[in-house]
Structure 1
């Protein structure tokens, strides 16, 4: 007979990791529902949003900038940006002074799909998180976790 499994928590509802996982799956499901009609994945949206955000303050946005902004793996970012380029949502060009870097720019179609996606995602997020009474405090707690674990 196998040994009884011992858990630190008395129930899954006491495990923060389990709860974060459950919330993440539900939230991703909601995001997928609003992004599917735009033919975007959640990852594609995140990278387009990072590009849109960075382009507001920087003349040249590179793949590395996008990877850093989104806390994403550089190789994955390169792959997804290629897909977004194939969809004509962005262009990739040589950097004028750094031959190793690519400059990433939203196209008109990319700007339009990003704006539609932002509206849809922001509405979905407002609905999803509407039951939280102190959203700024919740966001601050999430930022604390991100900063604490970013370099692991």
Structure 2
């Protein structure tokens, strides 16, 4: 992911009102993020516990998403739709984003199950267990990273879709 400033992050959001963007807490420790190991920038709002934000690269440009966490937790331990990690170190929660444009103003949303603390980039980079002798761990890790990028971008495209 390309490094972004706070102003660039604030300007890339879709489906969020001016008031929501004005109330947005910036990502914590923005200056110290390791952008080379980050596929999705996600953070929870420090002031509003059910509100979170994600910036996802879509076609080489950042797309910001305002996400609202569902008040009810999944009944069973769910799998993150983005990283699809089977050894989840944290809980997964249902988050929804308003669609862009008229659909979002009419109340249309898109939801997904995502790691509660947006640990997806770290999850896909963990060394997987060796299933058999000669297994290419680096190729498996690269495939997991590419899958995360594709699934997160697909969710952002669903938010951007106006029909």
- TM-score w.r.t. length of structure 2: 0.22
Structure of larger gyration radius: 1
Q: Which of the pair is proportionally richer in strand?
A: 2
- TM-score w.r.t. length of structure 1: 0.23
